[in-house]
Chain A
């Protein structure tokens, strides 16, 4: 009781002048503050996922390309957030529009005069919270591509691709559902972005990996596949834990308020799916490879998380276990199958984000009575076509203008020296003898 009073006191103190226009704060004002605070906490949880991506991608690639992969990951969040402020937000949430393409103008400004007004989203969050939360998501979609094309794509081409993709393709695609566009009207459901974020990034990752080609030496004659080992499993593991951690904001914040019932349900389904993804991947990789592979269970947890993201608030906890478990199985089989198709994805981004994103979107139709599987499938196909066309177009233009790939010599020496003239582990050597 005392705690509650203190909390209310703090809230009262913190709310600032915008709410106090009418004198006494109301219960609605307090709820507004609580909701908005949760949304901002979620925002920085999603922010930390970028450190997760950076660590995971660095860990699963070779040490000679670490500066390059980190450089890409840092650039992407900057590009994603800036383009979202310039045009992305207003492309994704154009207000009233034809359902396919709308644009509410460049830049962000509070449309109702004051950023702190309770009326913007029924007391759930402010205009600026809305923007910054969504901006973190946009940057996430762009960063998915980075891992799949790692260790051979030219830095400049990658940065141009990401800028165009996250500035135009991602928000336009997003407007179809979250901007209340045509798929939303049809009843398509994607709670936090199995399709809108993960598949959208995943389709581009697929196109990128195919168009840029495989790393030198990965695929030999007679279908021989030579694995190119990631150089730091502890770093990859840290990355996955950070991604899992950040997912509580990714899914928890997608409730778009601090509604206790829904947020706690989402936490449970999200966690159960991630855990089941680990177990699904563990069993599959142990069975297929005869040995349990750490990198596969890392992908497995992410697979479970991507899988539950579309339906985290409409799938029951026990079904979320099933969704995650199946995602864990799918991701391992997909990683192996993509290698057989000679699509070289060093970190498994296509399997985790695209394949499990599709699975998660369809799972809403399977496990939620209110949603139709055929509409979910239509959404998957619509997003697939749009993102494929968009990314093929951008990547092809780049391929025949400035080129997509670094030279063979540069690839062998490593992109750290080739692109940056810089080493990632200068003066650092690990001794194994004692």
Chain B
């Protein structure tokens, strides 16, 4: 079992979601996030003064899957988000999961994730 955390651009979320569903991955959690990567800071103007925004809006995707789905998830995210030469696109982290419990039934492990 793996937990995949992907930090992506907010505008990519609908497309990533579609790609995940195409690959039969239906269970995921998203949160609003702010992050700072290698991108050039964005300039904004407020009442005549321009200022740099370094912490930019991102979306954080969390997907817990059984091992055989890891590649499909990575593919679903990268097929949308990969862009050569454009810094600060985001990252994917893959972590092992010790256990997983489905609240409704009390099932554990791979059963509970799927």
Q: Which residues of A contact B (CB under 8 A)?
A: 225-227, 229-230, 285, 288-291, 293, 295-296, 332, 335-336, 339, 348, 431-434
Q: Is A295 a contact of B47 with CB atoms below 8 Å?
A: yes
**B13 sits at the interface (CB 8 A):** yes
Provide 27 A-B residue pairs closer than 8 Å at the C-beta atoms, listed in order of the A residue: A226-B49, A226-B51, A227-B46, A227-B49, A227-B51, A229-B46, A230-B46, A285-B48, A288-B48, A289-B48, A289-B50, A291-B45, A295-B47, A296-B47, A296-B48, A332-B48, A335-B47, A335-B48, A336-B48, A336-B49, A339-B47, A431-B32, A433-B30, A433-B31, A433-B32, A433-B59, A434-B13
Chain B 16-60, CB-CB to A under 8 Å as 1, else 0, gives 000000000000001110000000000001111111000001010
B32 partner residues in chain A, CB cutoff 8 A:
431-433
Q: Is B10 a contact of A293 with CB atoms below 8 Å?
A: no
Q: Is B10 a contact of A432 with CB atoms below 8 Å?
A: yes
B48 partner residues in chain A, CB cutoff 8 A:
285, 288-289, 293, 296, 332, 335-336, 339
B8 CB to nearest chain A CB (Å): 10
A290, A293, A432, A433: the one within 8 Å of B47 (CB)? A293
A296 partner residues in chain B, CB cutoff 8 A:
47-48
A431 CB to nearest chain B CB (Å): 6
A348 partner residues in chain B, CB cutoff 8 A:
47
Complex Cα distance, B46 from A291, in Å, reads 10
Complex Cα distance, B10 from A348, in Å, reads 33
Q: Which residue of B lies closest to A336 (CB)?
A: B48
Q: Is B14 a contact of A434 with CB atoms below 8 Å?
A: yes
Complex Cα distance, B47 from A226, in Å, reads 11
Q: Which residue of B lies closest to A433 (CB)?
A: B59
B47 partner residues in chain A, CB cutoff 8 A:
227, 293, 295-296, 335-336, 339, 348
Not counting A226-B51, A293-B46, a sample of 17 additional A-B residue pairs whose C-beta atoms are within 8 angstroms of each other reads A225-B49, A226-B49, A227-B46, A230-B46, A289-B45, A289-B48, A293-B48, A295-B47, A335-B47, A335-B48, A336-B49, A339-B47, A339-B49, A348-B47, A431-B32, A433-B31, A434-B14
A229 partner residues in chain B, CB cutoff 8 A:
46
Complex Cα distance, B59 from A285, in Å, reads 33
Q: Which residues of B contact A (CB under 8 A)?
A: 10, 13-14, 30-32, 45-51, 57, 59
Complex Cα distance, B59 from A291, in Å, reads 27
Complex Cα distance, B45 from A431, in Å, reads 23
B31 partner residues in chain A, CB cutoff 8 A:
433
B14, B45, B51: the one within 8 Å of A293 (CB)? B45
- The 9 tightest CB contacts between A and B, nearest first, are A227-B46, A336-B48, A227-B49, A289-B45, A225-B49, A291-B45, A433-B59, A289-B48, A227-B51
Complex Cα distance, B51 from A291, in Å, reads 13
A295, A433, A434: the one within 8 Å of B46 (CB)? A295
B81 CB to nearest chain A CB (Å): 15
B10 CB to nearest chain A CB (Å): 6
B57 partner residues in chain A, CB cutoff 8 A:
432
Complex Cα distance, B46 from A348, in Å, reads 12
A227 partner residues in chain B, CB cutoff 8 A:
46-47, 49, 51
A336 partner residues in chain B, CB cutoff 8 A:
47-49
Between B30, B31, B48, the greatest number of chain A beta carbons within 10 A of the residue's beta carbon is seen for: B48
A422 CB to nearest chain B CB (Å): 25
B13 partner residues in chain A, CB cutoff 8 A:
433-434
A432 partner residues in chain B, CB cutoff 8 A:
10, 32, 57
Q: Which residue of B lies closest to A60 (CB)?
A: B47
Complex Cα distance, B30 from A230, in Å, reads 27
B61 CB to nearest chain A CB (Å): 10
B19 CB to nearest chain A CB (Å): 16
Complex Cα distance, B59 from A295, in Å, reads 28
A339 partner residues in chain B, CB cutoff 8 A:
47-49
B50 partner residues in chain A, CB cutoff 8 A:
289
A226 partner residues in chain B, CB cutoff 8 A:
49, 51
B60 CB to nearest chain A CB (Å): 9
B28 CB to nearest chain A CB (Å): 12
Q: Is A290 a contact of B45 with CB atoms below 8 Å?
A: yes
A285 partner residues in chain B, CB cutoff 8 A:
48
A230 partner residues in chain B, CB cutoff 8 A:
46
Complex Cα distance, B57 from A434, in Å, reads 13
Complex Cα distance, B43 from A290, in Å, reads 12
Q: Which residue of A lies closest to B58 (CB)?
A: A433
B29 CB to nearest chain A CB (Å): 11
B74 CB to nearest chain A CB (Å): 21
Q: Which residue of A lies closest to B46 (CB)?
A: A227
B11 CB to nearest chain A CB (Å): 10
Q: Which residue of A lies closest to B59 (CB)?
A: A433
Complex Cα distance, B14 from A335, in Å, reads 41
Complex Cα distance, B10 from A335, in Å, reads 34
Complex Cα distance, B14 from A225, in Å, reads 37
Between B10, B49, B57, the greatest number of chain A beta carbons within 10 A of the residue's beta carbon is seen for: B49
